[in-house]
Structures are given as C-alpha cells and as structure tokens.
Amino acid sequence: MDPDLVSKIAQIASVLEVSGHPKPGNVHRTQDFHDMVFEDFIISGIIIGPTIRKSAERGLKYKNKPDSLHKIRLGELIKEAVLETDKWIANNTNLGIVMLLIPLSAAAGMSSKFGDLRDNVNEIMRSTTPKDAVNLYDAINIADAGGMGEREDFDVGDDAAKEELINKEISMYQVLDISSKWDLLSYELTKRMPVTFELGSPVFKKVKADYGINKATVQTFLTILSNHPDTLISRKYGDKVADKVSDEAKSILEEGGVLTDKGFSMLEEFDLKLIDNKLNPGTTADITASSIMTAFLNEFGFSRGN
C-alpha cells in the first residue's frame, strides 16, 4: 500500500480516537486532564505522520524479502516517534498508540490485500531484534511510562536491563511476549492483534455505517473495555478494580451504549465516575486507535486498489 495513504490513515485514526465523546475515563473533546489536554493528543496524532510513512516505506521495501524484515527496525521507529512527540508535548500521550500503529503501518506497506495484514504484522514482530528491544526501552523511559511494569527480569526501569537484552539476545518480540501475561498491548503485538482485528475493527465498521464516526469510536471503546479489563488500570489499582470497570462498561452496552438515550446517560455518569476516581482505561484507548486504523485501511486502502 502507498506509504502516504498509510500515514494519512494512521494520523486520522489517532485524532479520531481522542475525539470520541464521551469516551469514559479519558481525555476527549470536552474533557481535559490536569497534566494533558485534548489539543496535546491532536498534536501528537499529527506529528507521528513522517515516522508512520517511514514505517510503511520500510515495509514496502522488504515486502518480498522475509529474511530482511529485521531491517524495518521497529524499535528505532517507535523511539523516533516518541522523541518527536517529546519535542512538542510535556507528557506521554501516544506511546501505546505508536507501539501498535507502527508495526501495523509497516505491515500495511508490505501487504497487497487486507487479508495479508495480520500475518504480516506477526512476521514483522517475530523478526525484531535485541536492538529493537533496547530502543523500545529507551522510548518507554523517554515517555516516562512504565508500560511493562516493574519485574525482576528485564525491568524497563533497570539501567542494566538493556545490556542484558543484548548479551542474552532477547528480541523486542520476546520481551513483549513476557509482558503479554499482564499487559494487553503486549498481548496484541505478540498474538496477531486479536482484539484489534476480531473485535474492535468489526464493531467500528458496523456502527460507523449506521451511526457515524463518533458513535462508532465510543462504542468500539466500550466493547473492547467490556470484554478485556484494562491492564493500565490493573497495574495501578489491581485486577479487581479493572474487572469492576469492565463490568460497568458491559452493563452500559447492554442498554445500547452510546447508541441509545439510556445508554448515553449511563455513559456520561460512567465517564465522570472514572475521572473522579482517576481510573484511566488508557490501554483500551490505544487499541481503539488500532481498531479504527484497521477499519480505515480496509475501507480506504486495500478496497481502492492501493
């Protein structure tokens, strides 16, 4: 697929995700946090464009060279996107999103049809190197985000961990595979993005056709959250709290979610409740963005012969 088109779709997905209203517990068009605001996320979604384009270009370059996929250098690209964001925004707004969208963009560059996309994401991820892992650690620390949590082995906050990754030849894929036991984003990246492709993207596509983009975005978010407790909440407050948040999302969906008056009213209350309790389903928001991107790749990319 044309790298310019891939970049446009990724940027669109990023800004649509944050614009979803009322996306509970997150920054959206009518809600800011004390340390980051709606406009921060819009800026973040725009400035990743050149790096996304580069990702797609590298995917296209190595399309027919399966032994060279490590040359895409995913970790370097993720670090580049985070560094560029850091020039403009004081806080981490898009680490999770770029971790998902950069492999997806490289795979889109490789792919001739939508049906190839998941397999290509998997092949690219499995081809990552220890250097990719080191660059990912750098990106996490630049963003000041403890995405993989504090662990005895390969702790992202341990200065010696990067040297250990090189010495033990631990790739980015292997590090994320370890993290996949407690981090849904890592699970996505090492298991062929099942939530994105099998749940989020189909919901977005269906609701968008009948109700428009904003309701599709929020309903996708709710659907993901109701099926998968948010692991950012789990790491901060424990599994029981995350499970309770998911149960509340499910009860709102049972009343129609954002698509009905009752569901919308419940959703607004849920949003305020999460904000008051500082419960931010940030991982769910990241996978909502990858779901939107995947749906748009299908609709505006491959379906138009690019």
Minimal CA–CA distance to 43: which of 9, 114, 91, 115? 91
Which residue type occupies 268?
A: E
pLDDT of residue 40: 95
pLDDT of residue 8: 97
Minimal CA–CA distance to 291: which of 97, 110, 71? 97
**In CATH, what number is assigned to the domain containing residue 43?**
1.10.4200.10
Describe the crossing of helices 213-227 and 239-254 by its angle, rounded to 10 degrees: 130
Domain count, the chain: 1
The answer on pLDDT for 154 being more than 80 is no
Alpha-carbon span 44 to 81, nearest angstrom: 9
The answer to whether the CB of 112 falls within 8 A of the CB of 297 is: no
Fill in the DSSP letter of residue 256.
T
Residue 101's domain comprises 3-304
pLDDT digits (tens, 9 = 90+) for 43-74: 999 999 999 999 999 999 999 999 999 999 99
| Non-local CB neighbours of 297 within 8 Å, separated by 6+ positions | 1, 6, 9, 104, 108, 114, 117
The answer on pLDDT for 305 being more than 50 is no
Average pLDDT over residues 184-202: 98
Describe the crossing of helices 159-167 and 130-143 by its angle, rounded to 10 degrees: 170
